[in-house]
Amino acid sequence: MFYPQAQASSISLLRRIIMVWVSNQSGTCLNVSITARSGGSAAVYPVEHAPEVWAVNHWSRAANASETAVIRLRNTSVTVNNVKGTDLLLVYNNAVIQVPDTNFLSKNLRMTTPNIVIAFLMTSNCAIRDISYQAPVTLRKAQLEPPPWQEPQDLYDNQINARLAQVDILLAEIRLLREQRNADCSKTRRLPSEMISKIFGFLAHDFNLDAERRLLRYPHLKWMPVTHVCRAWRNISLNEPALWTSFVSVHPKFIQEIFARTGTAPLTLRHDGLGDLASANLRCIFEHIVEHPERVKKLSVYAKVPFVHLFNKPAPFLKILITAPDVEFPPDFLGGVAPRLTYVNCRGCLPPKANWLANITKLDCGQVYLEATYLSNLTQLRLHRGWAALDAEGSVIQCPGIDLLLSGLENMPSLQCLHVTLPEDMDTAPSTRSTPIHLPHLRGIVVRFEQPNIATMFDHLRVDNIESLHASWKNCTPVVEPVLHFFDRCYHGSNLHYLMRAPGEVEMCHPTDSNGVHIPILSLKGRGPIDLASILSLVTLCVPRIFQMKRSQKSGMPLDLKECETIEELHLSASFDLSALFDLDEDTSPPYPSLRRLRLEGTDFVCDSGHIPLLKRWLARRQSTIDLVLEHCDLSQSDLESLQEVACVTVS
């Protein structure tokens, strides 16, 4: 086929240029005749299909273009006939062959490859231009000699590569301009490196549940991609060893590099045991870290892998130790030296005597000797569900009693927070202690009773000021009174005035800020219904002013506090049976005489249209107009106007 020619205007300086791609893959005889005439056209004819035209390319008439040149291709040779008065150059296999200006001089060339590119040029001293579809590029005849003439594809490739090189230069200049612009105009570049590093630290070392949820929603906030935003941020991250000290879900092949970046900063090791690389990951990490135990600041192992025997050297900077599987720690763990270890969370067994536990202040464990000397500094104790008490020899005590637990608590005079689940096999025999245990710093208690009679332990506790008490049980009657007597005796905060009621649940709170946020101070949860009036009679410091009732079904929870004169706000959830409250007899006065605001949440008045007349009559019979707040309620415009006749309605 013909190689593409340029438009006539682009070759006006050419005398003759003909470029032909000749293919002879089949090995058959191939005759090609190329003829150039003054003011005419060039035609290519295969002998086998003559006079069918393969391609015709028109060009403009050039000066002194009266000669004719013919190329004949056969299977193994090329014959070039040059007529008098023509400067002929034949490019064959990247070699330039000049055919002298003689009359009908022929030159035979042996073909050595099945695919040949032949360029047939008839030129004078004029310039030769590239005849591609790209912009013209000036070439000189001197460029053809002595360097060998290129095949057309190579010629185009070279021109393309030259332009790509220019593009790369321009892109590099653009990158430099952008960097300079960011350096001069970016607001973040005005921040000190220390502040940016601190921000990176929040992203890198935040492992709480809220952070994990945030990363699931905003994966681009992962700290490693953030550091790739620009070169400056990347350099800041690489130059801050503290950012690389967390070995959390690190691939083994990156351990050595990350370990080198930490410098001498304290390390955080966390192994969750997830994925196929869990064992290899842990082994590779330990190979680097156990050689420098003095650098470990936090060690968290959640997989059932042997690691205790590896840490037999002192760990002077270890502060936190967390192990999820059942692990039995030897007395000489960490070489018996961990002066900064303050928090231990383990499901396994702690030894009765251990010097490396001498300074712990927070303990969350499954098996423990409650009278161990290292518990004397505890400020926070949490005993898991199913925990076991040990004796001085490390053996499990069967059916521990209330006195054992009280003696253990007496061994913790600095205790501030107690979270305990009392086991089912606990001895329910009453305590034989004559005097109560005084824990002056105890402020918060979370307790779950598997055996309700164990609640009598509260009769033997005395604290200066309890700030929160959360109790739950299976059977409510034997539990409520000891707990409430203790709370009423030891609570000295502000009056509670917010109650939230659900099936088997009562919470008493007081506001904490101007936005109406409430934190439960007293929480009682049981499986059966709770007599709220009886509870309020035992808690004398509670003056109910806001009463919120929730229920998961239409029945099963009676209405309480109807005659309470202190309730000023009443909140009812969507599933509450409104007819039970608003359907009153003619002679019955509306409940809650001091009510000033009624808040209904998620009520569908469209489907339950009968509630509107009941609610309107209930509001109209009150002595004063109250505020009615409808949150996410469905009602028609006519119903809204009807309610506005008897109340100040707010829809949100």
Give residue-wise pLDDT tens across range 266-286: 888 777 655 444 556 666 666
Say which residue, 583 or 448, is predicted with more confidence: 448
Residue 633 lies in a domain: no
Give residue-wise pLDDT tens across range 178-207: 888 877 887 887 888 888 888 888 777 665
Residue 518 lies in a domain: no
pLDDT confidence of residue 438:
94
Q: 478, exposed or middle or buried, with CB in 10 Å at 0-12, 13-18, 19+?
A: middle
Residue 36 lies in a domain: yes
pLDDT confidence of residue 359:
93
- Contact, 462 vs 491, CB < 8 A? no
pLDDT confidence of residue 18:
34
pLDDT confidence of residue 207:
53
Q: What is the mean pLDDT of residues 560-565?
A: 78
Neighbours of 580 (CB within 10 A): 12
Residue 144 lies in a domain: yes
Residue 523 has pLDDT above 70, yes or no: yes
Residue 465 lies in a domain: no
- Contact, 492 vs 521, CB < 8 A? no
Using DSSP bridges, classify how beta strands 32-34 and 267-271 pair: parallel, antiparallel or unpaired.
unpaired
Neighbours of 466 (CB within 10 A): 22
Least confident of 267-281, 316-330, 396-410: 267-281
Phi and psi for 375 in degrees, rounded to 5?
Answer: -90, -5
Residue 2 is classified by DSSP as: B
Percent of the chain with pLDDT over 70: 67
Angle between the 231-238 and 193-204 helix axes, to the nearest 10 degrees?
70
**In the block, residue with structure tokens 């990347």:** 234
**In the block, residue with structure tokens 């464990």:** 365
pLDDT confidence of residue 446:
94
Say which residue, 521 or 12, is predicted with more confidence: 521
- Contact, 113 vs 122, CB < 8 A? no
pLDDT confidence of residue 187:
80
Q: What is the mean pLDDT of residues 477-481?
A: 71
From the list 485, 630, 527, the residue with the least C-alpha distance to 571 is 630
pLDDT confidence of residue 157:
85
pLDDT confidence of residue 591:
84
Least confident of 237-251, 336-350, 520-534: 237-251
Percent of the chain with pLDDT over 90: 15
State the average pLDDT for the chain: 71
Residue 122 has pLDDT above 70, yes or no: no
Residue 71 lies in a domain: yes
Give residue-wise pLDDT tens across range 128-186: 333 332 333 333 333 334 445 557 788 888 889 889 999 999 999 998 898 888 778 87
Q: What is the mean pLDDT of residues 589-615?
A: 85
Residue 98 has pLDDT above 70, yes or no: no
Segment (H or E) for 616: helix 611-620
Give residue-wise pLDDT tens across range 272-321: 655 444 556 666 666 667 777 788 888 888 777 677 877 888 888 899 99
Residue 66: which domain range?
8-149
Segment (H or E) for 300: strand 296-301
pLDDT confidence of residue 382:
94
Say which residue, 2 or 419, is predicted with more confidence: 419
Name the amino acid, one letter, at 91: V
pLDDT confidence of residue 11:
30
As for how many domains the chain has, the answer is 1
Give residue-wise pLDDT tens across range 421-449: 888 778 878 888 888 999 999 999 999 88
Residue 25 has pLDDT above 50, yes or no: no
Residue 140 lies in a domain: yes
Residue 103 lies in a domain: yes
pLDDT bracket for residue 392 (50, 70, 90): confident
Q: Is the torsion defined by CA of 139, 140, 144, 146 positive or negative?
A: negative
